[in-house]
Chain A
Amino acid sequence: MTSTATPTAGPHDDPVEPGWADVTASESSLRRFLHGLPGVDQVGAEQRAAGLGTRSIKTTAKAFAIDLAIRMVDLTTLEGQDTRGKVKALSAKAMRPDPADPTCPPVAAVCVYPDMVAVAKEALGASEVHVASVATAFPSGRAAMDVKLADTRDAVAAGADEVDMVIDRGAFLAGHYLQVFEEIGAVREACAGEGGAAHLKVILETGELQTYDNVRRASWLAMMAGADFIKTSTGKVQPAATPPVTLVMLEAVRDYREQTGRMVGVKPAGGIRTSKDAIKYLVMVNEVAGPDWLEPDWFRFGASTLLNDLLMQRTRLATGRYSGPDYFTLD
């Protein structure tokens, strides 16, 4: 399973997702396909997620998991009150999360609103930390299509390496799957920049999708439309990321790779605040999708407060003393 041939180049080199042309030809064929996906056993999914949460990860495995989780963090600030100064401070933290410890790895990306992309890009300079930008009228997604596309192009032009788009949940829940599919496709086109295409993360906003079946359908829809990542939530709606929802999405990316050979990443976002939670998610990734996903390229945490807890736990492992929030920056 792990040796499945994956395209070595980025997915954007494929003009259209291969093999789905007949499925996505019409509204009815798309609906038939999505509703033909096996249903999610709600009790089973919740029990499985809870069961995986009981694994005990200690000592060296814990140290490994914490460093991996830090490398997977998309350090996020998506507030109306964001300032240039805040984004600069966050970028500095992204590059050196623990200034007292040079062995601490940088995070994966800084996630900001499109107008702050240029600020973040400048602050991050030549570092390996990516700039991710939300786009398409985040968080509601309630805007005209050309506004959404302009929003995306703005972000990419400002230098965003990754674009987090929201789907039109209203259209999805009303059953207009083809509309959602085409929207994702159009945003994906808009992600094409000069220095290569920005990676596209599709936010499903699972807190508004009502059922696990819908989460599975939305995951497949996004992947078929060419998403590089599927992301649980905006963080603005409760419940945000939950273990069972992430489990369903991990199953979807696993099944999708078995069927097509293309690997899609998963990003739970919102509500993950403690190292313990993060490690539970990593266990789930390993057990459900497989160890191939245990890489920042394939799994991310959308979080802000999580990083400080990871750093406190990291310090605890290094010094043997419980650390406190006084010793890490507020963000």
Chain B
Amino acid sequence: MNTASTRIDVRKTYKLFIGGGFPRSESGHSYVVSDVRGRFVANAALASRKDARDAVAAARKAFPGWSGRTAYNRGQVVYRIAEVMEDRRPQFVEALRQGEGRTPAAAGKVLDESIDRLVWYAGWADKLTQVVGNANPVAGPFFNLSTPEPTGVVAVLAPQGSSLLGLVSVVAPVIVAGDTVVVAASTERPLPAVTFAEVLATSDVPGGVVNILTGSLDRTAPTLASHMDVNALDLTGLAGDPEQATELEIQAAANLKRVRRAPAAEPDWSVEPGLDRMTDVLETKTVWHPIGV
């Protein structure tokens, strides 16, 4: 601190991002976020199960509008997120430096990769249907067309280690596919997610399409896994914790959610992802249309 200054530090308490707004946790609880050396950085909201419920309700409300947009428009919106992130460069670099202990240069590289990842997924928005949809050959006088459709509300447990690149890599494919998402951010490193929420709020993403919960997974994950109005669950954030992952898979079975299982260890996010994160949250609709009638 500058010893000549008598200015008092602004101690920040960040909030959740639900339905396009920044509410405090319904429980009123928050927790201390420290940097890699254990020094106080800020307070973050400790989301409760009711916050998770509210987030699901917000995501459900946003789903018809978001999935009803043209794929081209969704691509533009996701590209716009990348643009706004670019403008917030210093804030992200600082958050990565504190949370992941990276040098400014390394943090800048991670940010570049995150922005590139968004652009990469944005490009897929209006190409996905051509690639995974199909005109099926059938033995009869029918056009038989399979097209992918978004599955609905997706709950994502974001990776615990990679707090920005990992977060972007699990959120972007879901919204590009036309689903809405409730994401539980990294517990120990929530600040990039908080900044990402500020980016979303000031870009063109409609409120409720992405909802970000910070805090302990013990509070939010079981609620999201068992919620009957959640259509798919991504357990990436439980990498290396097969016991809890299995527990959540059992709860998710109640309404036959699509589950993306937890990996054995957190993947290397810097490699180019495949299409599977998008196709995991799509349903295939097949239409039989009579020819010449």
Q: Which residues of A contact B (CB under 8 A)?
A: 320-327
Contacts and interface: CB of A to CB of B under 8 A. Distances in A.
B97 interface: no
B53 to A, nearest CB: 5
B11 to A, nearest CB: 28
A326 B226 contact: no
Nearest to B224: A322
Nearest to A324: B229
Q: Which of B53, B56, B254, B255 has the most CB of A within 10 A?
A: B255
Interface size class of B (residues with CB under 8 A): 10 to 19
A321 B255 CA distance: 10
Q: Which of A324, A325, A326 has the most CB of B within 10 A?
A: A324
A322 B254 CA distance: 11
Interface in B72-94: none
Q: Which of B226, B228, B229 has the most CB of A within 10 A?
A: B228
Contacts of A321: 226-228, 251, 254
B60 A322 contact: no
Contacts of B228: 321-324, 326-327
A321 B254 CA distance: 9
Contacts of A323: 228-229
B160 interface: no
Contacts of B254: 321
B223 interface: yes
DSSP majority for the A interface? Answer: loop
B283 to A, nearest CB: 14
Q: Name the 3 nearest CB pairs between A and B, nearest first.
A: A324-B229, A321-B226, A324-B228
A326 B229 CA distance: 7
B104 to A, nearest CB: 43
A186 B133 CA distance: 68
A325 B60 CA distance: 10
A325 to B, nearest CB: 7
Interface in B220-248: 223, 226-230
Contacts of B56: 322
A320 B60 CA distance: 20
A320 B226 CA distance: 9
Contacts of B230: 324
A28 B56 CA distance: 58
A327 B254 CA distance: 13
A324 B152 CA distance: 12
A322 B223 CA distance: 7
A320 B53 CA distance: 13
B229 to A, nearest CB: 3
A322 B251 CA distance: 12
Given A322-B53, A322-B223, A324-B255, 15 more contacts: A320-B226, A321-B226, A321-B228, A321-B251, A321-B254, A322-B226, A323-B228, A323-B229, A324-B60, A324-B229, A324-B230, A325-B60, A325-B229, A326-B228, A327-B228
A207 B65 CA distance: 32
26 contacts: A320-B226, A321-B226, A321-B227, A321-B228, A321-B251, A321-B254, A322-B53, A322-B56, A322-B223, A322-B226, A322-B227, A322-B228, A322-B229, A323-B228, A323-B229, A324-B60, A324-B227, A324-B228, A324-B229, A324-B230, A324-B255, A325-B60, A325-B229, A326-B228, A326-B229, A327-B228
A322 B229 CA distance: 8
Contacts of B60: 324-325
Q: Which of A322, A326, A327 has the most CB of B within 10 A?
A: A322
Contacts of A326: 228-229
B6 to A, nearest CB: 40
Nearest to A327: B228
Contacts of B255: 324
